[in-house]
Amino acid sequence: MPHTGAVPSTLPDGDPAPADGALPSSALRGLGERPFGVYVHVPFCATRCGYCDFNTYTPGELGTTASPESWLEGLRRELDLAAGVLGSAPPAETVFVGGGTPSLLGVDGLTDVLDAVRDSFGLAADAEVTTESNPESTSAEFFAGIRAAGYTRVSLGMQSAARHVLAVLDRTHTPGRAVAAAREAADAGFAHVNLDLIYGTPGERVEDLRASLDAVLAAGVDHVSAYALIVEEGTALARRVRRGDLPAPDDDRLAESYELVDSVLSAHGLDWYEVSNWASSADARCRHNLGYWLGGDWWGAGPGAHSHVGGVRWWNVKHPARYATLLADGASPAAGRETLTDDDRRIERVLLELRLAEGLPLDTLDDTGRANASDAVADGLLDRIALAEGRCVLTARGRLLADAVVRRLT
Amino acid sequence: MSTFADTTFTPPELIRNFCIIAHIDHGKSTLADRMLQITGVVEERAMRAQYLDRMDIERERGITIKAQNVRLPWQVDGQNHVLHMIDTPGHVDFTYEVSRALEACEGAVLLVDAAQGIEAQTLANLYLALENDLAIIPVLNKIDLPAADPDKYAKEIAHIIGCEPEEVLRVSAKSGLGVRELLDEVVLKVPAPQGDADAPARAMIFDSVYDTYRGVVTYIRVVDGKITPRERIRMMSTNATHELLEVGIISPEPKPSVGLGVGEVGYLITGVKDVRQSKVGDTVTSERKGATEPLAGYREPKPMVYSGLYPVDGSDYPDLREALDKLQLNDAALTYEPETSAALGFGFRCGFLGLLHLEITRDRLEREFGLDLISTAPNVVYRVVLDDGTGELIVTNPSDWPTGRVGEIFEPITRCTIIAPSDYIGTIMELCQTKRGQLGGMDYLSEDRVELRYTMPMAEIIFDFFDALKSRTRGYASLDYEESGEQSAELVKVDILLQGEPVDAFSAIVHKDAAYGYGTRMATKLRELIPRQQFEVPIQAAVGSRVIARETIRAIRKDVLAKCYGGDITRKRKLLEKQKEGKKRMKMVGRVEVPQEAFVAALSTDESSDKGKGKK
Ligand SMILES: Nc1nc2c(ncn2[C@@H]2O[C@H](COP(=O)(O)OP(=O)(O)OP(=O)(O)O)[C@@H](O)[C@H]2O)c(=O)[nH]1
Ligand SMILES: C[S@@+](CC[C@H](N)C(=O)[O-])C[C@H]1O[C@@H](n2cnc3c(N)ncnc32)[C@H](O)[C@@H]1O
Ligand code: SF4
Ligand SMILES: [Mg+2]
């Protein structure tokens, strides 16, 4: 569904969720044996980027209906409720504060958020604690402050090093700022820093993408996420494309860009471990995201956040005002949920694990899926040796056709 | 209100049977409206435009498809008369409806649009009427139009039918001006029906319609004797006898009556469920002391154009069969036979009178029966003489074209008439030449309008000829054609191959000089219509083993959503489910997935048919 300013991205259709947020005992069984993480959604941005359909709001869109304060209040209540629903929840092994623009909360705000997580769940000794940050709302002091508060990882929305590309994307930071921020983060003691790139923006030339990759390498980060620009329905970008003001990204060009990204990054020791993610070592991989892809449990707190515990998925109401009101009334902010069938879970495993460099165990597939896997090897989409060893692993070409392979295997 | 016309067994000398014939859109149904009103059979508040166009599809397209008869009272000089009026369709595909109507009449109102003059179907229908020895009443319609030029066109008409221009009546079917005078003229000019009231009953079936509530309703015109509901009847062609449940007249709704006498037109209901048991052209007589000699029948309508109809969803096949069965009850001209296509699965090869007939049938199947259909490119019927002396093949489907063994090939030809302003003679001749037409003659209707007569292969006409003609004459040309035998021709079958596999649904029989054009056009179209696959797909057009055109669909390189959706995995899974659903609607040609839409779009000739002919 389109969102124009005040109506951000769609939630799925699902079953109603109970007001107390209670989960079936089947979902709670085995809690703690699987990885457990906490996601916190910060639904605020200074301005809206034309391509973005995430659940986030500018001050102008919110008016007086919600504020970072009312949000934080709600968040605390939701985390409390979560601790109650989960009962003997394990300490969080990963925390990911995403958005939106978490860096807008500042050091104090992000400290409060992490404290709230600690209060409700506690943190595992070696917990990975990430926050997304927009380059323009960070500084050396900011990084020092959040490092001191307990954050261990920073993800920066760099997108591009080309000024004209940043302009088309409506990004407000200057070309050099993301790299500078990454260095500041490293200087502040962050061993794990990620840079997000978007490729395929209208007007982006091969040289521009190369320059962005050079900048990423110069920043010396241990993790890179690179996404092909998606023209999401209902965004300002989609309108510009429809009007013909901007050309739609071309799939062949996107494929070439992906190949360029992959070859440059891997030549410099950053290896893919998920279709859109590269890391310098196994330790540098984002454990929190791996939890999503490997069927882990996590509680997603905040407006529009998604959660998964033991085969039950649910999602919160999107609007921060509604979110705060529900929690103030002592109700769960969940808007809907679904209980996965065995088949759903199997399909999700294929969908998610196939995208990983580790691949998918062949025995996850049914008979036709297995037969089709052999065909996919013949078509150069799956790795022959890996298949012989009982795993489906995408080839370089297969990664670019991953959705098609998933359709063949499910 | 009851009138003189409500009671039957009217003396023949007080009966006049006539039809309204014209080129498409010249206002027949509108004139019929005024007659219904002026004679009082339809009350003012029940009136609606083109009252007799009863089918939804007729009303939507603004054209008449089925002829309709009505019994009307009319007084001349204080003497009551009964008029049986039949409104006919103007489109060339439905000429057989006109010819049947003519059999029930002694006269015809030849209606001509006073702003357009004589058009191709004016002539065609006029000649049909003359062949049947009908009295012709020439009438100019739409004289209210500012562009009307009645003097000019009265001359045209007079010239064609051999009367004085002053004898051509002038009416406005829209306002009703002149319609009373026209009705008087009908009584005056149209001969009364003749027949022997005391002879054994003989009635001609001129139409037969299936009605969900009443079963088959058979329209008859009594020639001799009488038909009464108390007597059993016999169909003379089959000797089948039936009980009569009802006999009646149409005015303009069905009204039961005590029977029908000499010269009267009406309907009968026997309770049979299949129109084929009540065949148009058959003679009805009474079971006891019936007639021994049937009336002269009609030529059965013969399909001229064939196309395969396939359900998009293969599981709808039984529904399609049932729907065709039902439609055929009302449409004796529709034929169908099961066929299978490697590409499209199970379907039917259907025969039609022309492209409009095809289109309307398809439309009705889709709308009235909720089917989603693919129709293959229309083709005519070919006769292929085998060179090994083993005989010949009648080919209604390009897939049945023999390989090798082809000796001489015969294709149907038409005699066609084109009427247009004389400025366009050059353009038209050029066009007809490219369509393998042979000029038979040319006549001036007036100083600036001509009639051109051509012999042209039917295949050329049914393809895109009419549209090309219209666009080159800025809509001023009209066309009529009728089948006129066959000619030997150098025809070839062009196959379209995807990844080396022929796609039967795309094969076509074309003249050898047009093969390259067809091949390139299809290959280019398909390259655009078929989505890229995970491998490269060559598209080839070939005549036999000779490739005449090729295109390539490059392999798709990217099919992956690379974006962080955070934890919204539900969305991802639903997207996958949707994509897989979409895949189910693909037809597999070898390993190539071809969307239904590609078949529909590739097979539509986009310029092939003339829908409502100018009715926007
Ligand atoms: N101005 C004007 N328009 C008329 C007159 N008679 C008919 N029309 C219009 O001409 C168009 C065609 O009229 P119809 O009565 O449907 O013509 P038709 O001959 O029955 O057409 P087919 O049955 O399709 O052959 C309609 O838009 C009528 O309103 C008339 O006397 N004056
Ligand atoms: C939702 S954003 C949140 C982080 C932060 N606000 C930012 O913009 O950097 C996470 C990342 O998703 C990617 N992203 C967002 N919308 C996208 C789109 N339409 N197409 C491709 N990538 C997109 C961007 O790379 C962005 O950095
Ligand atoms: S800053 Fe990030 S979350 Fe905010 S609008 Fe831009 S891309 Fe979306
Ligand atoms: Mg009509």
- Nearest-angstrom CA–CA distance, B560 and A365: 20
pLDDT score at A213: 98
The DSSP line for B439-497 is EEEEEEEETTEEEEEEEEEHHHIIIIIHHHHHHHTTT--EEEEEEEEEEE--EEEEEEE
CB contact at 8 A, B7 and B72? no
Between chains, do A12 and B574 touch, taking CB under 8 Å as contact? yes
Give the ipTM of the model, two decimals please: 0.90
Q: Is the CB of B141 under 6 A from ligand 1?
A: yes
Confidence label for B296 from pLDDT (cuts 50, 70 and 90): confident
Residue corresponding to tokens 């062609």:
B237
Region of residue A263 (left: phi > 0; alpha: psi -120 to 50; beta: else): alpha
Between chains, do A401 and B572 touch, taking CB under 8 Å as contact? no
pLDDT score at A154: 98
Of all protein residues, whose CA lies closest to atom 2 belonging to ligand 3? A100
pLDDT score at B565: 63
CB contact at 8 A, B523 and B509? no
Domain residue ranges in chain A: 25-293, 341-410
Q: For the domain with range A25-293, which CATH number is right: 1.20.1250.20, 3.90.1150.10, 3.20.20.70, 3.90.550.10?
A: 3.20.20.70
Between chains, do A258 and B562 touch, taking CB under 8 Å as contact? yes
Domains B202-286 and B382-488 share a fold: no
pLDDT score at B286: 94
pLDDT score at B2: 74
Between chains, do B561 and A230 touch, taking CB under 8 Å as contact? yes
Does B141 show up as a binding residue in the annotation? yes
Backbone angles phi, psi at B557, to 5 degrees: -110, -25
Pick from A98, A258, A313: CB nearest B569 = A313
pLDDT: is B272 or A2 the higher one? B272
**How close A289 gets to chain B, by Cα (Å)?**
8
The pLDDT > 90 percentage for chain B reads 69
pLDDT score at A2: 31
SS3 per residue for B333-398: CCEEEEEEECCCEEEEEEEECCHHHHHHHHHHHHHHHCCCEEECCCECCEEEEECCCCCEEEECCH
Confidence label for B323 from pLDDT (cuts 50, 70 and 90): very high
Backbone angles phi, psi at A344, to 5 degrees: -55, -45
Rounded to the nearest angstrom, the distance between the alpha carbon of B275 and the centre of ligand 4 is 24
Strand ranges in B60-188 using DSSP code E only, listed in sequence order? 68-76, 79-87, 107-113, 135-141, 169-170
Q: Is the CB of B540 under 6 A from ligand 1?
A: no
Between chains, do A379 and B535 touch, taking CB under 8 Å as contact? yes
Residues of B in contact with A227 (CB under 8 A): 562-564
Say whether pLDDT at B417 is over 80: yes
Say whether pLDDT at B407 is over 60: yes
Does B15 show up as a binding residue in the annotation? no
Greatest mean pLDDT among B136-140, B399-403, B446-450 lies in B136-140
Q: Which of A42, A56, A58 to mutate to test the pocket of ligand 3 (most atoms within 8 A of CB)?
A: A56
Between chains, do A227 and B580 touch, taking CB under 8 Å as contact? no
Say whether pLDDT at B406 is over 90: no
Say whether pLDDT at B450 is over 90: yes
What average pLDDT score do residues B51-77 get? Answer: 92
CATH architecture for segment(s) A341-410: Orthogonal Bundle (1.10)
What average pLDDT score do residues B14-32 get? Answer: 96
Rounded to the nearest angstrom, the distance between the alpha carbon of A49 and the centre of ligand 3 is 5
pLDDT score at A3: 31
What average pLDDT score do residues B306-323 get? Answer: 92
Strand order in the sheet with B233-235: B241-242, B233-235, B283-286, B202-211, B215-224, B265-269, B246-250, B254-256
Residues of A in contact with B562 (CB under 8 A): 226-228, 258, 275-276
Pick from A227, A305, A347: CB nearest B573 = A347
pLDDT score at B387: 87
Residue corresponding to tokens 């292969």:
B457
Q: What value does the mean pLDDT of chain B take?
A: 90
**How close B59 gets to chain A, by Cα (Å)?**
37
> Chain B: which residues have CB within 8 Å of chain A?
534-535, 556-564, 566-574, 576, 579-580, 583
Compare all CA atoms of chain B with the CA of A408 and give the residue at the minimum distance: B580
pLDDT score at B611: 35
Q: What class is the B202-286 domain?
A: mainly beta
The pTM of this model reads: 0.73
Type of residue found at B587: K
Q: For the domain with range B382-488, which CATH number is right: 3.30.70.240, 3.30.470.10, 3.30.43.10, 3.30.360.10?
A: 3.30.70.240
Say whether pLDDT at B616 is over 70: no
Q: What is the pLDDT of residues A333-368, one digit of tens each?
A: 999 999 999 999 999 999 999 999 999 999 999 999
pLDDT score at B614: 33
Tokens of A232: 């999401």
Compare all CA atoms of chain B with the CA of A400 and give the residue at the minimum distance: B558
DSSP assignment, residue A356?
B
Residues of B in contact with A305 (CB under 8 A): 566-567
Q: How far is CA A217 from CA A160, A182, A189, in A?
A: 13, 11, 19
CB contact at 8 A, B251 and B5? yes
User: Based on the number of CB atoms within 10 Å of its own CB, is A248 exposed (0-12), middle (13-18) or buried (19 or more)?
Assistant: middle
Domain residue ranges in chain B: 12-189, 202-286, 305-375, 382-488, 492-594
Between chains, do A300 and B559 touch, taking CB under 8 Å as contact? no
What average pLDDT score do residues B273-288 get? Answer: 85
pLDDT score at B365: 93
Give the residue from A321, A328, A336, A298 showing the smallest Cα distance to A77: A328
Query: Consecutive 10-residue runs of chain A (410 residues): their mean pLDDT?
Result: 39 85 92 93 96 95 94 97 92 96 98 97 97 97 98 98 97 96 98 97 97 98 97 95 95 96 98 97 97 96 96 96 96 96 95 96 95 94 97 97 94
The pLDDT > 70 percentage for chain B reads 97
Q: What is the pLDDT of residues B84-112, one digit of tens each?
A: 999 999 998 888 889 889 989 999 999 99
Q: How far is CA B109 from CA B79, B165, B167, B187, in A?
A: 22, 16, 13, 12
Say whether pLDDT at B209 is over 90: no
The DSSP line for A40-59 is EEE-B-SS--TT--SS-B-H
Q: Is the CB of A156 under 6 A from ligand 3?
A: no
Best residue of A401, A405, A408, A409 to probe chain B, by most B CBs closer than 10 Å: A401
Say whether pLDDT at B607 is over 60: no
pLDDT score at A9: 62
Q: Is the CB of B564 under 6 A from ligand 2?
A: yes
Does B69 show up as a binding residue in the annotation? no
Does B558 show up as a binding residue in the annotation? no
User: Based on the number of CB atoms within 10 Å of its own CB, is B417 exposed (0-12), middle (13-18) or buried (19 or more)?
Assistant: buried
Pick from A226, A228, A404: CB nearest B534 = A404
Q: Is the CB of B159 under 6 A from ligand 1?
A: no
Does B313 show up as a binding residue in the annotation? no
The verdict on domain B492-594 having CATH code 1.10.1530.10 is no
Residues of B in contact with A400 (CB under 8 A): 557-560
Residues of A in contact with B576 (CB under 8 A): 347, 351, 403, 406-407, 410
Tokens of B520: 């390139």
pLDDT score at B564: 60
CB contact at 8 A, A144 and A21? no
Q: Is the CB of A204 under 6 A from ligand 2?
A: no
What are the helix and strand counts (H, E) for chain A?
17, 14
Between chains, do B558 and A402 touch, taking CB under 8 Å as contact? no
Say whether pLDDT at B610 is over 90: no
Q: Count the alpha carbons within 13 Å of B279 in the hemisphere toward its beta carbon.
A: 18
Give the residue from A206, A58, A39, A176 showing the smallest Cα distance to B567: A39
Cis peptide before A18 (omega within 30 of 0): no
Give the residue from B441, B439, B467, B468 showing the smallest Cα distance to B455: B439
Fold classified for B12-189: Rossmann fold (3.40.50)
Between chains, do B534 and A313 touch, taking CB under 8 Å as contact? no
Q: Is the CB of A49 under 6 A from ligand 3?
A: yes
Give the residue from A51, A45, A53, A43 showing the smallest Cα distance to A2: A53
The verdict on domain B305-375 having CATH code 3.20.20.70 is no
